[in-house]
Amino acid sequence: MKVGVLGIGITKFGERWDQGLRELLLDAQLRALNDAKIDAKQIDTLFTGNMCGDSLSGQLHIGAMAAENLNLDKPSIRVEGACASGSLALRQGVHAITSGEARVAMVSGVEKMTDVSTEQVTTALMGAGDEELEGFNGLTFPGLYALLANAYMHKYKLKRETLAKVSVKSHFHGARNPYAQYQNEITVDTVINSPMVADPLTLFDCSPITDGAASVILVSEEIAKKAGVEVYITGSGLANDSLSLARRKSLTRIDASFVAREKAFNQAGITPKEVDFAEVHDCFSIAEILAVEGLGLAKEGEAGKLYDSKQTYFDGDMPINTSGGLKACGHPIGATGVKQAVEAVQQLRGEAKERQVKGAGIGVTHNVGGSGATVCVHVFKKVK
């Protein structure tokens, strides 16, 4: 499979009081069109990832909004898969191209989260979990991931300082990303001594509430070759598990990550050893540890070694979340999966500047919905 990425666009992530949901989406769409150097009329279909448009912005029917923004009457669909909405939209775009249904597809993700109270956001996000088994009993996502963290730290003796190094690395990269919500470096002490959210996770172990949008334009291999496209999506994998942690086989691994990775890597014809960098779903620091192992970039129980030896920095042996990840770049739910794609393309094009991975040829994105109920993995490859 080879689907070309013709253009990318991303807004600044953060508390965007200057733009609403529609404006954020339009901003990313226009940036992608400008990067692709095409007219909107050339788009055959649109897919837009969004989770909470209704509960946080009072706006549904976002597929129609995406088309209206560009004055198009082409097929346009909103895609929802909790925090994996963006990557699911990307997968739909890939399928539209590979099936022959479309030759040019615009894939976007958008979320506006900061206009309401933290309580409203927390309630909306809990819709990604099991409402009856978890929500009704008072659990929120920090609590769910704290359960995973405690189980993992107990089984594999992961040190608290090592877990904190995940966020330290993310902020290091975020400080070098002009689109990131947080562009400041932090220390291990900053993480450990920040306010407790759900033991052992403190404030700096958690991704923030964020506004933002991202967009990519996918094209057929034929068009890509004519346009001299350098970056292709060569693998796409999707897997699911139970909504609730109570029904999981294990609390120290995300099974769906292993399955989605195998599907995507097999399709792309690669092994974990060939991956040059990865953008993974670090909604909480422990989630990044689990993601790295799920992608086969470290053995189960051993991901912490990569952080202790600083191998996950952009100039290390296994760069992880060079964008700053969800932690530092921000986590506008529906946009995250598409943002990961934008970062992958920037790295493979050699446009990441201060956080550029030297000689990057293959990148992977890993996006999770809920506490691991949905996982979507994509493989990006630079083709000379």
Q: Which residues are catalytic?
A: 83, 331
The dihedral over CA atoms of 243, 14, 35, 170, expressed in degrees to the nearest 10, equals -70
Question: Distance (Å, rounded) from C-alpha 308 to C-alpha 226?
Answer: 45
CB 236 within 8 A of CB 218: no
Structure-token pair, residue 359: 């000689």
CB 207 within 8 A of CB 283: yes
Question: Distance (Å, rounded) from C-alpha 308 to C-alpha 23?
Answer: 41
Alpha-helix residue ranges (DSSP H) falling in the chain:
21-36, 53-57, 62-69, 85-98, 118-125, 141-156, 160-174, 188-192, 221-227, 255-268, 285-294, 304-308, 325-328, 336-349
Count of CB atoms within 10 A of residue 315's CB? Answer: 12
Question: Distance (Å, rounded) from C-alpha 56 to C-alpha 35?
Answer: 30
How far is the CA of 212 from the CAs of 50, 108, 163, in angstroms?
A: 11, 11, 27
CB 87 within 8 A of CB 367: yes
Q: Given the DSSP bridges, would you call strands 231-240 and 196-198 parallel, antiparallel or unpaired?
A: unpaired
Structure-token pair, residue 248: 């999981």
Report, in angstroms and rounded to the nearest whole number, the Rg of the chain calculated over CA atoms: 19
Q: Which of 114, 50, 116, 37 is nearest to 79 (CA)?
A: 50
Q: Is 203 helix (H, G, I), strand (E, B) or coil?
A: helix
How far does Cα 373 stand from its chain's mean position?
A: 15
How far is the CA of 350 from the CAs of 176, 178, 234, in angstroms?
A: 15, 16, 19
How far does Cα 301 stand from its chain's mean position?
A: 23
213 has which bridge partners?
110
